[in-house]
Every structure is written in structure tokens, then in C-alpha cells.
């Protein structure tokens, strides 16, 4: 690969790299329990979140609060699935067919997917915090994926953080920020095996509130 071609590929990849975040939180006034992975769910709602300016401006609601309130849910489990290939494919349809096909072929190695599931640890009652509720614990980390998101290399699930920190109340933010995008593009150009990071922020409370949450769950 010549320097010119490498620079062109890097510029195109950076043009497709984007940021964005999903807020996993309870609606105002709601007291929502987080389900574990094995609990059955009667309601399933899946929707696409749209962004403008490479993720800088959300075009639709990025919070789970409205969906929870609309269905009247008291227990939830949430998964965030991010696909960069969709963005590349949508852009590739514009312009001349040959140019679009060449762009998609050149950028195939810079696209990726990742999936993060927010579920409670087994046998632990965990409440989903609202946006306006205080959190005394904050843990931020990166989850690393290989083969363009198919294989997880490292990084805990939110449920692992909930268990390790002894949290009984929690909210989660799953985001692709500017450093994540830059790292993903750099790794793909240097070593094209699809290594990508994703930032996860877990906020919550532990202590006496956990006992109160268990009492409310039993009485309910």
C-alpha cells in the first residue's frame, strides 16, 4: 500500500468513524428492576437510534426511559447493538455505482459491530436508576472486540461490575466516543483483524439501599 493510498483510506475511515451514546435509565417516577439473563420477558421492543454530525447530535431519543414508560414495564433487560457497517453501506449507495462499490470494498475492513447487554447478576435485586438520581459509584472502562465485533477480547459486562461493586441501584451508558473511533481506525489500518473498543460507564449505589431494594421486591 502506497503512502497516498494509505492516507486516502485513513481519511475515508475517519469520515465513517462516528460517536454516539445510549442511556440505559428508568423513566421519571418509575421504580424498575433489572432482570438477569435467564429470566423470561413478555415484551420485546427494538428500535434504531439515529444521529447527525457523526454522532454529535441525536435525531431520536437515545434513552430507554420512554420505551419503559410506554410499555408500562416494571422489569427490564437491555441490549445495545452498534453497527458501523450500516453507516458505510448507506453512504456507499450514493454516487456512481463503480465508485460506491470501490468505496465499500476499501472500507470493508474499517466497519464493525458490537453488542453490550445490561442485565443484573443472578439472584441479585437491582434497580434501574433515573437520570436525575444521584450515584455514589462510577466506573468507566473499555470493552475490546476482535474480528470486527464478533469476538470479545476483554472488558466486563455491566452485570459483572454490578456484582463486583455490590450495587443495588444502577444506570448504564454505552458510548462510542472520539478516542474509541480513533483507536478503532488506527488498529484496523495497522493490524487489520478488526480490533475495536467501546466505552461503558456504570453508575450506581451500594450499601443500605440494597437492603431497602430487596425489601421492596419481596413486598411487591
Q: Tell me: pLDDT of 214 over 50.
A: no
**Predicted pLDDT of residue 218:** 47
| pLDDT (tens digit per residue) in 183-206 | 766 766 666 666 778 889 999 998
Q: Tell me: pLDDT of 22 over 60.
A: yes
**Cα 201 versus chain centre, distance:** 10
Average pLDDT, rounded, for the chain: 75
Element (H, E) at 179: helix 178-190
pTM of the complete model beyond 0.75: no
| pLDDT (tens digit per residue) in 146-169 | 776 677 787 788 999 999 999 999
Residue found by looking up cell 419503559 in the block: 68
Query: How far is 31 from 143, CA to CA, in rounded Å?
Result: 29
Q: Are 144 and 151 in contact (CB under 8 A)?
A: no
**Predicted pLDDT of residue 150:** 72
Amino acid at each position: 500500500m502506497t503512502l497516498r493510498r494509505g492516507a486516502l483510506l485513513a481519511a475515508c475511515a475517519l469520515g465513517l468513524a462516528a460517536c454516539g451514546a445510549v442511556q440505559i435509565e428508568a423513566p421519571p417516577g418509575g421504580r424498575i428492576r433489572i432482570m438477569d439473563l435467564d429470566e423470561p420477558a413478555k415484551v420485546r421492543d427494538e428500535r434504531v437510534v439515529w444521529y447527525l454530525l457523526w454522532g454529535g447530535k441525536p435525531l431520536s431519543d437515545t434513552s430507554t426511559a420512554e420505551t419503559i414508560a410506554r410499555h408500562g414495564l416494571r422489569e427490564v433487560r437491555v441490549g445495545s447493538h452498534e453497527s458501523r457497517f450500516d453507516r458505510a453501506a448507506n453512504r456507499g449507495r450514493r454516487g456512481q455505482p463503480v465508485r460506491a462499490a470501490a468505496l465499500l470494498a476499501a472500507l470493508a475492513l474499517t466497519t464493525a459491530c458490537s453488542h453490550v447487554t445490561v442485565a443484573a447478576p443472578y439472584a441479585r435485586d437491582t434497580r434501574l436508576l433515573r437520570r436525575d438520581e444521584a450515584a455514589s459509584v462510577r466506573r468507566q472502562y473499555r470493552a475490546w472486540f476482535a474480528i470486527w465485533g464478533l469476538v470479545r477480547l476483554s472488558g466486563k459486562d455491566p452485570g459483572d461490575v454490578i456484582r463486583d461493586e455490590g450495587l443495588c441501584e444502577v444506570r448504564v451508558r454505552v458510548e462510542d466516543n472520539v478516542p474509541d473511533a480513533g483507536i478503532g481506525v488506527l488498529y484496523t489500518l495497522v493490524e487489520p483483524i478488526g480490533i475495536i473498543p467501546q466505552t461503558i460507564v456504570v453508575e450506581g449505589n451500594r450499601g443500605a439501599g440494597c437492603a431497602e431494594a430487596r425489601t421492596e421486591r419481596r413486598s411487591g
